[in-house]
Structure 1
Amino acid sequence: MEGSLQGNRDRIILEIVKLLLRSEVAFQEIFSRYGEGRIRFSAVEHWVDDKGRSLLFNLKEQCHALFREKPKGSERQNEWLLDLVIGSIFHEAMKLRENLYQLEIYRPRYIQYRRSAGATDYEKDYIKRFERIIARAEQGVAEGMEETRSLYRDAMAQLIDLFKENAEDPFWVRFLLEQEILLQKVYGPKRTREIFRLLFGKDLLKAYHIAGQSYLESGHYDLASLYFSKSLRLDPHHNDTFLLHSLSRGMSAYYQNSYPKALSCFGKLTALKWSLKATREQLQRVEEVCRKISVEMKEEKGVRGARRADSLAEQIGKML
């Protein structure tokens, strides 16, 4: 039960990280438009709002739900800091949003009013106050852009430390491999490659193997096959990876009702010796699948295939 809760918590943290990365990509576009002098209020609405429809609002809410409902002192320092920086980004973004609204909606009205204002003292006073409001909004946008940019820069650096801390965790490894394109948008292709080398060494062999094992254990056989295949491209002669690749391909084929392909893959499991530990459960599953294939083939009068399936089931059973 405790392991299940921890796994669920890890998934929520990874969703938070993904939202943070996506919000940073959105801010890159906003900052670029600002630098080109074409920023509009509508450009920030999908990035931040107070109605629950934006990236940052949902990010902030998920953070608060996960980190602030835990007993005091139970979260790790880096998690506490992540919650703090995300909250800071959200509130800076909200101020930036309000200042942009002032400039886009109220500044034209102030200008129009100034052209037609009367000579009364309060009208003159209004003009001065409106000018101060707009000046503060302009300054607020400039400062808000830089402050938010700095917060994101630090947050992205902190994420790299989080990646390093969790470089052996299958959930995190899977996340990093799955989100490589998103990481490239945030850090750039070159820096992303450097981060992967920092985490996994000169190539991704280790990462592919961790991901493949994790997908295999969780029954995602198509993804397990994909990452074992990537691993084999880097090390074609790794016996255990070859066997795990064959196993995952066979199981994937079975669930696609491609029985001849499944049996062909399972046949490779008997050709070489296994040096892996904790594979008994997987082999038992393969034996069970072979017997199911045999039954279904017999029902479809595929006698030859059924015999092949029975033979494989017996051979695999002897390996247990």
Structure 2
Amino acid sequence: MSKAWIRAKRPDFVRDVVRDFCQVHRELEREFRHFDKTGHVDFTVIRNLLGQETNKGLLWRLKDTAHLLFKKNASENGLLGQFLDWSMGYIFHDTMKLKEDAYQQQNYAPWFRELQRRQLPENARHVSQELMRVLDQTNESIQREVNRIRFILFNCRSLLVEYLPRHRDNELLARFFLASEELVREVFGSGYPRLVKAIYDDEPELMYLLAARSLRTGGWREDALRALAEAERMNPHHNLLGEERERITAKRS
């Protein structure tokens, strides 16, 4: 892949990284809350999130796209990009470890516990007890992996708040924020207003204007008008409102 192609696709990659990060964050946090309550991680959920080389899951695709966006443009993205690339790769690799530990816990721990209830020969009972200790250590590993991934997710949120202002004019990103506001709010929580403020500063209506432009370009005129109406509600005097409304109207005629 040439640098020129990657540069041309940058708006798509930025949107994809933010979108996939939010979706991965939501799925992992749901599973971690389940772990907090039950002490178990669902192997199938983690496996599907990762996928495999021939059928990559959401987290695998996030890792690859982050690498394209940040690693291939390291000189332009600076340390923030390198931190994000490393962090998203770390989440992927630690989730791989989590998957293997969850597999052991889900498939072999019940068998070993059942063995403990049997009347086994002394030697077999001793071996099963020793091996069960290894599985107990696996449970401890899962807790450490969950803690590490949560910590990196937290730092990724902070890094994105610092990184995304340079993509303030990204129409695809604005359109994603508009379409998936509930998801983004869920992921960033109380930090959501800070995210919007960091990107759009004192022009929060710009997000809706840019989304309207993207929707209009894609042929979604009614959706574009709704986005434009929200921008107008927030700031009826914005200098781009009239121009964008004319373009949407021209598309309809």
Matches within 5 A, 1:95-106: 95-106=97-108
- Provide the residue aligned with 2:128 in structure 1: 127
What is the CA RMSD across the aligned residues, in angstroms? 3.0
Higher relative contact order (CA 8 A, sep 6+): 2
Runs of 4+ in 1 over 6 A off after TM superposition: 1-4
Find the aligned partners of 1:2 and 1:134 in 2 and give their Cα distance.
47
- Counting matched residue pairs gives 248
* Residue aligned with 2:49, SS: coil
**TM-score (normalised: structure 2):** 0.82
Q: 2:61 aligns with which of 58, 61, 65?
A: 58
**TM-score (normalised: structure 1):** 0.66
Deviation of 1:180 after TM superposition, in Å, equals 1.7
Matches within 5 A, 1:142-157: 142-157=143-158
Deviation of 1:233 after TM superposition, in Å, equals 2.2
String of CA shifts for 1:212-247, please: whole Å, max 9, x gaps.
44555x464615433332222234456752353133
Find the aligned partners of 2:52 and 2:3 in 1 and give their Cα distance.
35
Gaps of 5+ in 2: none
String of CA shifts for 1:131-186, please: whole Å, max 9, x gaps.
22111111011111111111111111111112223224444333333332221120
Find the aligned partners of 2:94 and 2:27 in 1 and give their Cα distance.
15
Structure 1 residues 75, 245: closer, same or farther in 2, change over 3 A?
closer
- Provide the residue aligned with 1:81 in structure 2: 83
* One-letter amino acid of the counterpart of residue 188, structure 2: Y
- Provide the residue aligned with 1:36 in structure 2: 37
String of CA shifts for 1:64-108, please: whole Å, max 9, x gaps.
45555x488575332222221111111111111211211111112
Matches within 5 A, 1:1-320: 6-37=7-38, 39-51=41-53, 52-65=55-68, 70=72, 76-114=78-116, 115-120=118-123, 123-188=124-189, 190-201=190-201, 204-213=204-213, 218=217, 220=219, 222=221, 223-236=223-236, 241-251=241-251, 253=252, 262=253
- Provide the residue aligned with 1:257 in structure 2: none
* Residue aligned with 2:44, SS: helix
* One-letter amino acid of the counterpart of residue 33, structure 1: H
* One-letter amino acid of the counterpart of residue 204, structure 2: L
Gaps of 5+ in 1: 254-261, 263-320
* One-letter amino acid of the counterpart of residue 121, structure 2: G
Deviation of 1:12 after TM superposition, in Å, equals 2.0
Deviation of 1:43 after TM superposition, in Å, equals 3.2
Q: Answer whether contact 2:51 2:57 (CA < 8 A) is retained.
A: yes
* Residue aligned with 1:117, SS: coil
